[in-house]
Amino acid sequence: MTYTLILLRHGQSAWNKSNQFTGWVDVPLTEQGIEEAKHGGDLMKEKNVLPDVVFTSLLRRSISTAFYALDHADRLWIPVKRSWRLNERHYGALQGKNKSEIRQEYGDKQFMIWRRSYATPPPEIAVDDEFSQSNDPRYAGEPVPRTEALANVVTRVEPYFENEIKPELKAGKTVLIAAHGNSLRAIVKMLDGLSDEEIAKVNIPTAMPLVYKLDENFKPIVPRGEYLDPEAAAAGAAAVANQGK
Ligand SMILES: O=C(O)[C@@H](CO)OP(=O)(O)O
């Protein structure tokens, strides 16, 4: 039995464009981001990799990306499940800050530790900060982080993957996860068994479908999966890696 999982990062968001740390701040897609999402759906249709069920975070950039991609793949009708567990990594006190300015102020090393180290989170955001989610009703009854490292994202994504996503795969469904750069990096780390150092080098481009064929033990048949448009994905990943430079 082979399972098919498609990972899709949202299209360009307003704060990707303005180069701001985003995390749990609920910014919309740009016009370009909408076009990217539609193109992702076109690719799924063209390559005949069609999802039967879609998972999104609770953030509009992932929800809208799923909408536009599925519309173009002619799969808008499939069941949808959403969870905060697929949200972007909470960027703590960096949320809303300009990436280039933070890099200049704190230096390359600290900037990269905050962006890509596995276990070191940025400083916590104040509860009353304009970019805090502490009082956001969509998370009522859930623990709202004040910052997260990628390790914290793995901890929250893992049980969701086990209990909600795996059963759909086991039922033979092609699963689409429309989520975020860092929540998808958490999933890639889990699936490929990457070390903390290896995952630091992985960047996920916007709105490029990444297809994982998994064996009966949920191990990738092709390590790191396969992008439906590998060339464009490599260029997109390099652009993400260079943000703030
Ligand atoms: O700002 C963010 O939330 C993320 C994704 O856009 O950025 P980075 O790639 O720097 O982790």
Model pLDDT, residue 245: 79
Q: Would the CB of 11 count as within 6 Å of ligand 1?
A: no
Which pair of structure tokens corresponds to residue 169? 């795969």
Model pLDDT, residue 220: 98
Let me know if residue 118 belongs to a domain.
yes
What gap in Å lies between CA 124 and CA 92, rounded to an integer? Answer: 5
Is 180 a catalytic site residue? no
Is 39 a catalytic site residue? no
Q: Per-residue pLDDT tens for 171-207? A: 999 999 999 999 999 999 999 999 999 999 999 999 9
Model pLDDT, residue 180: 98
Let me know if residue 231 belongs to a domain.
no
Model pLDDT, residue 244: 83
Let me know if residue 238 belongs to a domain.
no
Model pLDDT, residue 1: 87
**What is the domain-level CATH number for residue 181?**
3.40.50.1240
C-alpha distances (whole Å) from 43 to each of 9, 27, 178 are: 14, 25, 15
Let me know if residue 243 belongs to a domain.
no
Model pLDDT, residue 34: 98
Let me know if residue 162 belongs to a domain.
yes
Q: Which of 9, 18, 115 to mutate to test the pocket of ligand 1 (most atoms within 8 A of CB)?
A: 115
- pTM assigned to the model: 0.97
Q: How many structural domains is the chain composed of?
A: 1
Is position 99 annotated in a ligand binding site? yes
Model pLDDT, residue 243: 87
Complex ipTM more than 0.90, yes or no: yes
Is position 60 annotated in a ligand binding site? no
In terms of Cβ atoms closer than 10 Å to its own Cβ (0-12, 13-18, 19+), residue 139 is middle
pLDDT beneath 50, residues of the chain: none
Let me know if residue 174 belongs to a domain.
yes
Rg (the chain; Cα; Å): 17
The domain containing residue 19 runs over which residues? 3-215
C-alpha distances (whole Å) from 237 to each of 136, 233, 234 are: 31, 6, 5
